[in-house]
Each structure stands twice: as structure tokens, then as C-alpha cells.
Amino acid sequence: MDSQIPLSIPEIAGNEWHYVKECLDSGWISSVGAYVERFERSVAQITKRKYAVATVNGTAALHTSLIVAGVKPGEEVLTTSLTFIAPANAIRYCGAFPIFVDCTSTAQMDFELLRTFLREHCQRTPDGVTNRDTKRRIAAILPVNVVGAVGDIQVAESLAHEFELPLIVDATESLGSTHAGRPASSYGRMAALSFNGNKILSTGGGGMIVTDDAHLAERAKHLTTQAKDDAFEYIHHQIGYNYRLPNVLAAIGCAQLEKLEEYVLKKKKIALLYREALSDLRGVEMLSEEPKTESNCWLNVLRLKDPIESLSRPWMVELHRQKIESRPFWQPMHLSPAHRNSSYFGQAPSQAQMLYESCLCLPSSVGLTRMDQDRVIRAILVLHQDTLESRRRTV
């Protein structure tokens, strides 16, 4: 019997046991301990940032980043429609409203649309930039590095500069990626990372805010640790959050981080093999790479095109039957019932919806063996051949 091939699972192959044992032996397993600081320092170093603040998960990192960037209830944040729901939810946690901008054909936030929106649908007001339609203040720009790639983030940077808006990058999927020679998470006033189980590195659950701004880092640390103002007494001047990362998870993070380079290389090898095996098939392509980006190849995405673009669901069902996990892209946020009252900016039907309907994410774990990857590729080649043959018969 063939075994299950998962989409993206953690790889535990380094000093995890060793560091966790140290934690357990010392009793420092919880919210205080040396590993949290060490993990923060190492992440700051790897992302070429001055500061890093650990959080309990990536969603908390996003929420905190938005608060310290000054996002207030009733304001608006520009983000992408094709994303995992976390950044959209984080915007709502602030009482703010997302504006979902459509994506490019490579699944990244469309910064040309962002430019059009800011230039043609907003106006300068004494307190910043206001959406002409809703009269709400625009408070931040929040792009997402989808599946490890990075769009033309320098365009977003220059727009953020032009309109004096904070740029917060959801870099949760792009740890280890670079753009124009710089780490993906070195862009933006702040960037959020995640160490959830499906990411390139995992602490079971965890997140991080990285920034070069000492004041923002300090505010983030304060807010994520219940905003306690006195070292001894329990005095608080504002509502904080318990968003701390436990020391025992930071210990796992330190071990994982030592493996980042090796894991990125493995992921790149996996991506290359998929590309070589599947890119030349008629009606099929691997989602293309972004110029200027060296992706960590976190997740490989197969796109079905004319004449078979509508078959991604039946293909997933068949792969599932063969114990190969594949998943669609996220439902675009502007179509999500959870965010039905939000605005959308782009064409209809959106690029996001077309990708949602035509793409399959393929098994991409660091530990994916050559044999298992060959099984995935063979299954797709057979599906492809059967599909085209049955098409020919019906024509």
C-alpha cells in the first residue's frame, strides 16, 4: 500500500531534542527564558533586521504590527485578495476594514492596481490619505509574499513612501527568500513571520515581527506581553495581549533556524524537478517565478490552462484517492463570506478567482523523498494523458 504524501509538514532533523531537553531540564519552559531572546536575535540576523519580537503565531505578529503601525478602528488597510485569511482577519481585529486588491497572474498583490487605487480613488487630507468613496482614512499597505515568492515589492515601497503609509509585509511564507538580493522580510517598516506547522521552519506554532525601528520593536514587545509597565508591580496603562512565544517553542525555533539554508536548497531541488517534469505539458504550467526573486520555493503550484483549466477539482479528488495531498489556493478574500462587507479593487472576474479555480498546490515538504515526488509526478502525467485522450474522444 502506498503511504500518504502530505502537502507540507515540518522537518525535525537538527538540535531540536537537545535544546528542548535543555529547556525541560532547566525548568524554563514558559514565557521567560534564554531561548526566546536567542531566537529573536538569530531571526533578526538572518532577515538582516535590527530587531525581532517573537509572538505566539504569525497572525498575532500581523495583528500587533498593524496596531503599532497606527491602524485604528474605522480605517482601511490595502491588502491582497489572494491570501490565506490571517492578514484579512488581523485587519478586522483592529476594527479596520480591508480593501482587497486583485493579484497578478503569478498570484502576488498587483502593485499597479495599488498605484491606480491610491492615485485615482484616494485624496490627500490633513490626516493623511482618504478613500474618496468611503471617506475613511487609509492606514497601511499589507502585501503578502504568496507561496514564498515576492512581487515587485520595491513598487509597493515607493508607493508607501509617496503616500506616507506604513508598509507591513506578510512574509510568513517567504522566510529564506530574497528579492533584489535582500531577504524578503527585510522589506517594509515591519514584516511578519510564521513558524506554523506548514511553513518552511516550524516551532509547532509561533511567529515573529521584524523591523529596523527601535520604537516599533519596543511597542510590539510591550503590547505582546500584556503591556505591563512596572517590572515588579502589575501596573498597566493600556490593554495588552498575551502573545508571547513560550521558551520551549523558541528552543525548537533555534534548532530549526540552523537548518534554514539546507531546507531552502531542498525546496529548490523539489521545485526544479516539478518544473522539469511538468512545465512542457500542454495545458499545464508551474506557477511562474517572479523576476528579481530567489524564492524559498515553499509551495509548488500547478496551474491548469486552456483547454483543461476547469479540471483542478477532479484532479485533486483523484490525487487524494491515490493518497497524494493537493489543495486549491485560498478562496479569494473578496469572495469569502467571512469578509463579505469588504471592498474589492480590480477586474471581474478577478485574477485571484481564476487562479483559485485553476490551480493545485502540490506536495512540497522539505522531507519529500525523490521516490514520493516521482509518484506525484507520475500521477499527474497519467491524469494529463487520460484527460486529453478523453477530450479527443468527445470532440
Ligand X SMILES: *Cc1c(COP(=O)(O)O)cnc(C)c1O
Interface ranges with ligand X (CB under 6 A): 57-59, 83-84, 86-87, 144, 170, 172-173, 194, 196, 207
How far, in Å, CA of 44 to CA of 334, rounded? 34
What residues contact residue 111 under an 8 Å CB cut-off, 6+ apart?
A: 143, 151, 152, 153, 155, 156, 159
Q: Compute the least distance from the CB of residue 264 to ligand X, in Å.
A: 17
Nearer to ligand X, 82 or 118 (CB): 82
CB 323, min distance to ligand X, A: 24
Q: Which is nearer to ligand X, 194 or 373 (CB)?
A: 194
Return the number of the residue (198 or 288) whose C-beta is nearest ligand X: 198
Q: How far is the CB of 376 from ligand X (least distance, A)?
A: 21
Q: Smallest distance from the beta carbon of 70 to ligand X, in angstroms?
A: 21
Phi/psi-derived region of residue 181, left when phi > 0, alpha when psi is between -120 and 50, beta in every other case: left
Between CA 135 and CA 369 the distance in angstroms is: 54
- Closest chain position to ligand X (CB): 58
Rounded to an integer, what distance in angstroms lies between the CA atom of residue 364 and that of residue 10?
A: 11
Please state, in angstroms and rounded to a whole number, the distance separating the CA atoms of residues 100 and 5. Answer: 33
Shortest Cβ 237–ligand X spacing (Å): 27
Q: Which is nearer to ligand X, 42 or 64 (CB)?
A: 64
The residue assigned the cell 515607493 is 158
- In the complex with ligand X, which residue's Cβ is closer, 57 or 224? 57
Cβ atoms within 10 Å, residue 170? 29
In terms of C-beta distances under 8 Å and separation of at least 24 residues, what long-range contacts does 235-242 make, across chains too?
241/60, 241/63, 241/64, 242/56
In single-letter form, the type of residue at position 194 comes to: S
Query: Considering the complex, what minimum distance in angstroms separates the CB of residue 249 from ligand X?
Result: 12
Nearer to ligand X, 53 or 308 (CB): 53
Compute the distance between CA of residue 335 and CA of residue 344 in angstroms, rounded to an integer.
Answer: 9
The pair phi, psi for residue 240, each rounded to 5°, is -110, -170
Residue number with CB closer to ligand X (249 or 284):
249
Q: Which is nearer to ligand X, 83 or 387 (CB)?
A: 83
Nearest 5°: phi and psi at 344?
A: -130, 140
| Closest to ligand X by CB, 59 or 296 | 59
Tally helices (H) and strands (E) across the chain: 12, 16
Q: How far is the CB of 375 from ligand X (least distance, A)?
A: 26
Q: In angstroms, give the least distance from the CB of 221 to ligand X.
A: 18
Place of cell 512542457: 280
Considering the complex, what minimum distance in angstroms separates the CB of residue 30 from ligand X? 19
Q: CA-to-CA distance for 215 and 372, rounded, in angstroms? A: 48
Residue 378 CB: number of other CB atoms within 10 A? 12
Give, rounded to a whole angstrom, the gap between the first and last alpha carbons of the chain: 37
Give the span between the Cα atoms of 288 and 297, in whole angstroms: 11
Whole-number minimum distance, CB 238 to ligand X, in Å? 23
> Which secondary structure element, helix H or strand E, spans residue 84, and what is its range?
none
User: With respect to ligand X, which residue has the nearer C-beta, 149 or 383?
Assistant: 149
The grid cell for 32 is 521567560
